[in-house]
Amino acid sequence: MKILKTDTIGFCFGVERAVKAVYDILENEELRGRKIFTWGELIHNPDIINELSSKGVTSTENIDDINEGDVVVIRSHGVSSSVIDALKAKKAVVFDETCPKVKKIHKIATDSKTLIISGNIEHPEVKGIIGNCKNKFYVVKDIDELKKIVHNIYSEDEQITFVSQTTFSVEMFEEMKKFISQYKNITVENTICHSTEERQQQVRDLAQKVDMFIVVGGKNSSNTKKLFDIASQFCEAYHIESVKELPYYIKYKKIGLSSGASTPVRAVEEVIFNMISEIDNKDVIEQDVDFLEALEESLKTIRNGQRVKGIISAINGTEVQVDLGVKYSGIIPTAEFADDEAPKIGDEIEAFVVKVTDSEGTAQLSKKHLDMVKGLEKINEAYEQKTVLTGKVSEIVKGGLIIAIHGVRVFVPASQATLKKDEDLEPLKNTEVNFRIIEVDEGNGRRKRVIGSIRSVLREKRQAEIESFWNSLEEGKKYDGVVKSLTAFGAFVDIGGVDGLVHISDMTWTRVKNPAELVSVGEKVSVIVKSFDKEKKRISLTMKNPDENPWDILKANYNVDDVVEVSVVKLMPYGAFVNVIPGIDGLVHISQISKERLAKVADALTVGQKVNAKITEIDYEAQKINLSIRAAVEEVAEESAEAEEVAEESAEVEE
């Protein structure tokens, strides 16, 4: 008799992650003394559930059981967004251990106009997907239900997305996908977990080579039931939850063995050892002894893709030898070690099994591969939590750039690399940049496609800087800015990521016809905030120096009745504007130009002509000044007459 097991047994990635999280919480000193809940049964495995229960972990789906400060772990199946909101409202400490693959479906559900889900409507994963739908959704369990739903809702205007429960039957999904392919506006997202697909295929292959098949796993486990259904198609099959349910198997020559994704490896090992023990209690014939030895040895063997730990036993120029505690000697190329992590004899090391060579008793290992997997785990975590990462730009490639981080190549499209469109990417090469993971996609094969965004981090930083700028903005505050653009009415100046307007009248105290006479684009200028509107995001600036205010100069040096030399700058029907001092023009009314009555101002004055005028009125509040040429002439005449009288009187006295 032979016992053959599938390569993949034990927890899947999502379940192992959730179970580990609960045990880590139990050991967390900061959380000690708090009530710990899982939202629903953590996994479909009674032994694990009972073990956690003995440690004080309670399963619930009643929000009233939760109080402030309680710890709640969301299982890998995920939950609806309303559950998360309710737990946060209760101020619970939430650990969301939803499988990343399930979270991807949640995002699709949120974004979809119409969603069709293949799966069991009573399954907690499907309930969680439904709870994240914002629009119409339908759940189908087989091809017949799918055809009925599509027939009822399909239209060329209807945008439909088709997804699957991660543990759904691969065969049935492929049949559904083939049917949907005839509808051009139905998008198919293959959301079946790769681990599920791999387990199902391994069971399908092995079941055709054995006389009997045993599937170990919880009776409520959807993926375990599907494995049992697949095995049943090819041989006599049994679905057992524990070793206590083992059927009579002695009569079979070849027995296949596998487990569901919620079944720990130890449960499978217990079944195998029990079968060995049963055989030992019988009269075992000679040929069975070889089987027992082979089986015992198989439990110590390793397989391709397995993660193993060992002790470094020797180091030569090109290889690092690792003692794995089994019949195989592990070998890692020294090239896989970075300069700052030189291996040492006696160190424990973890690696992936790349290739097992039975004839040589060696196992080719890869530390680099494991580092990449661990890196992907960190990448997935960063993606889920929207964490900002820091990495080095290693390459500039067609359409974007590559950032190397945690042994993973992250592609950043050109549109996500900079704030401005079509900006040159070459200056970013070999520089450290902050970025965020925006997409992790399995693609068609096993290789993950990881996409990042530098732009999203830059935009957040810029937004924070702008918000800080507006909070610190004050009237009268001085800034050093850069002229961004010119218009006929003024200049827009960047004062820290925000543009303000310097009106042409605020560019200088003197008269100017065009802003280009004073400044050019790109020129650095000093400005002062005149006023601003935070809601409308408008800022009025001035380039005028308060110390050069011509009205202050006028007030300090001139008074009413002073006669000053002025220059004619403009002729109007009602008078002439004259420049008193730089920055101040005053009006000489037509009646104050000459003693004679004038038909036109031009009969007495021309632009550019310099004349004396007497200041007759100054209004500092309205910033207006009136003058009189006529009064200045009359004053000069009076002064001349007085001088002549004084001269005549002096002459008479001398006579």
Active site residues: 125
Q: Rounded to whole angstroms, how far apart are CA atoms 231 and 226?
A: 9
Q: Rounded to whole angstroms, how far apart are CA atoms 515 and 459?
A: 32
How open is the CA angle 590-592-597, to the nearest 5 degrees? Answer: 60
Q: Residues 6 or more apart from 502 whose CB is under 8 A from it?
A: 490, 491, 492, 493, 515, 525, 527, 541, 542, 543
Nearest residue to 22 via CA among 5, 40, 37: 37
- Tokens (6 digits) for 177: 């996908």
- Tokens (6 digits) for 612: 């004396």
The backbone torsions φ and ψ at residue 567, rounded to the nearest 5 degrees and listed phi first, read -120, 130
The backbone torsions φ and ψ at residue 92, rounded to the nearest 5 degrees and listed phi first, read -80, 160
The strand pairing partners of 512, in sequence order, are none
Q: Rounded to whole angstroms, how far apart are CA atoms 18 and 627?
A: 90
Residue type, 291: F
Residue type, 253: K
Residue type, 611: V
- Tokens (6 digits) for 552: 């202050």
Answer for the pair 267, 259: CB distance below 8 angstroms, yes or no: yes
The strand pairing partners of 331, in sequence order, are 321, 364
Q: Rounded to whole angstroms, how far apart are CA atoms 179 and 352?
A: 40
Q: Rounded to whole angstroms, how far apart are CA atoms 327 and 300?
A: 8
Q: Rounded to whole angstroms, how far apart are CA atoms 499 and 255?
A: 76
Nearest residue to 202 via CA among 256, 155, 279: 256
Residue type, 483: V
> What's the burial of 646, exposed, middle or buried (CB within 10 Å: 0-12/13-18/19+)?
exposed
Q: Rounded to whole angstroms, how far apart are CA atoms 193 and 49?
A: 23
Q: How many C-beta atoms surround the C-beta of residue 651 within 10 A? A: 9
- Tokens (6 digits) for 133: 């739908």
Residue type, 217: G
Answer for the pair 396, 429: CB distance below 8 angstroms, yes or no: yes
Residue type, 120: N
Q: Rounded to whole angstroms, how far apart are CA atoms 586 and 563?
A: 13
Answer for the pair 158, 114: CB distance below 8 angstroms, yes or no: yes
* Cα 462 from chain centroid (whole Å): 15
Nearest residue to 477 via CA among 403, 545, 515, 530: 530
Beta pairing, strands 362-366 & 408-413: unpaired
- Tokens (6 digits) for 139: 């759940």
Q: What share of the chain is helix, strand, coil (3-state, %, to 5)?
A: 35, 30, 35
Q: Where are the beta strands (DSSP E) in 514-609?
A: 524-533, 538-542, 563-572, 575-581, 584-589
